[in-house]
Amino acid sequence: KRLGWAVVGLGEFALGQVLPALREAKYSRLTALVSGDPAKARRVADQHGVDPKNIYSYDNFDSIRDNPDIDVVYIVLPNGLHAEYSVRASRAGKHVMTEKPMATSPEECEQMIQAARAANRKLMVAYRAQFEPRHVEVARLTRTRAFGNPRAITAEFVQNQGDPAQWRLDRNLAGGGSLPDIGLYPLNFSRFVLGEEPSAVMAHISSPPNDPRFREVEDRVAFTLHFPSGVIAHCLSGYSAHRSSRFRIMSERGWASLDPAFAYERNRLTVGRRVGQQEGIEERQVEDKSQFVLEIDHLSQAILENKPVKTPGEEGLRDHVLMRAIYRSAEEGRRITLS
Ligand code: NAD
């Protein structure tokens, strides 16, 4: 059985990644669209075989309640709208997948979790990296201690943002700058790989003065996560340099490295360790399955089999609590300890 999915927001990511993934999925299929642009919605419905009666606007969105073709609502709107639509979808009795970052504050995350719980429906945050096969392999190598105990992580995700008028540079719609948008990948993936929660954070922020892109949100964030095991993760995000995404975990007897780490496809995994008397560096071939298809079908399967999801609302909440501590550390110029 394939569950019916409604996609809310038909922007670049929804059209470029989410809709194609829903076509490929085994347990999920696109059955409805929610958009503020009726002509675009008609066109997309036509392309993807969606019944025109299943096109909704933001105003009549709550009437999805009466539509049995919709099991899951996938929210692909600007970050500042995730909480509102997630809560409305839960109240309409639907399961929810929300894009990352989950929301713009821990308080919004709590509201979303509460609404899903009250409706007895699932809530999942689209942390695609946790489904990417190479990423899963790095987590497996780390958690099985294949190269001994992990000691340190370096991770980064930076890219250029062009248009100063886009929502990603608007504080209310984005919730912050590079940190919640792409710094979230080093943050979430470090926690995932180690299977451990940071006990303290420290951070520095730097934005070019007089750059119209950074009037409301920050550019670069350098942050360190301290884990109870002693591992230090040194992370970086930024919005004013050419795209670069890398992840490396260094353990006692070897390292695993992803470069690129957070691309949509063709990430590359290399490992380095001593082989006999020599240092060996080897590229690991891992089958390139779509992280988007895996993530979408994960939620459908969890619903069909009534199992917990790997990246529930609580996972998003944890990152938002950590991001707030990261901002506070930079602002106050000190290490912030987490309980
Ligand atoms: P986008 O600007 O291309 O699309 C956003 C859509 O929301 C547009 O269709 C826009 O019309 C609509 N919208 C509705 N109300 C709006 C409002 N008040 N202001 C602005 N737009 C409004 O953005 P995107 O890149 O598709 O990002 C959408 C979401 O997907 C974000 O949460 C983003 O973080 C996430 N995303 C995730 C990934 C990933 O790899 N998982 C990649 C890109 C984006």
- The answer to whether 219 touches 208, Cβ cutoff 8 Å, is yes
Reading the block at residue 167, the tokens are 């929502």
51-79: pLDDT as tens digits: 999 999 999 999 999 999 999 999 999 99
Q: Is 100 a catalytic residue?
A: yes
Q: Which residue minimizes the CA distance to atom 21 of ligand 1?
A: 78
Q: Is residue 126 in contact with ligand 1, taking CB distance under 6 Å?
A: yes
Tokens encoding 115: 């609404």
DSSP H helices, the chain, are 12-13, 19-24, 38-48, 82-91, 106-119, 133-143, 171-174, 178, 184-194, 291-304, 313-332
What pTM does this model have?
0.98
Question: How remote is the CA of residue 80 from the centroid of ligand 1, in Å?
Answer: 10
Residue 74 annotated among the catalytic residues of the structure:
no
CA atoms within 13 A on the CB side of 334: 4
Q: Complex ipTM, two decimals? A: 0.99
What DSSP designation does 99 have? P
Q: Fill in the DSSP letter of residue 92.
A: T
Q: Which fold does the domain 3-128+292-312 belong to in CATH?
A: Rossmann fold (3.40.50)
Domain borders along the chain are 3-128+292-312, 132-289+320-337
Q: What is the pLDDT of residues 228-272, one digit of tens each?
A: 999 999 999 999 999 999 999 999 999 999 999 999 999 999 999
d(CA 301, CA 308): 10
Determine the distance separating the centroid of ligand 1 and the alpha carbon of 173, expressed in angstroms. Answer: 10
Give the pLDDT band of residue 339 (cuts 50, 70, 90): confident
The CATH number of 132-289+320-337, from 3.30.420.10, 3.10.20.30, 3.60.20.10, 3.30.360.10, is 3.30.360.10
Q: Which is the closest atom of ligand 1 to the Cα of 16?
A: 26
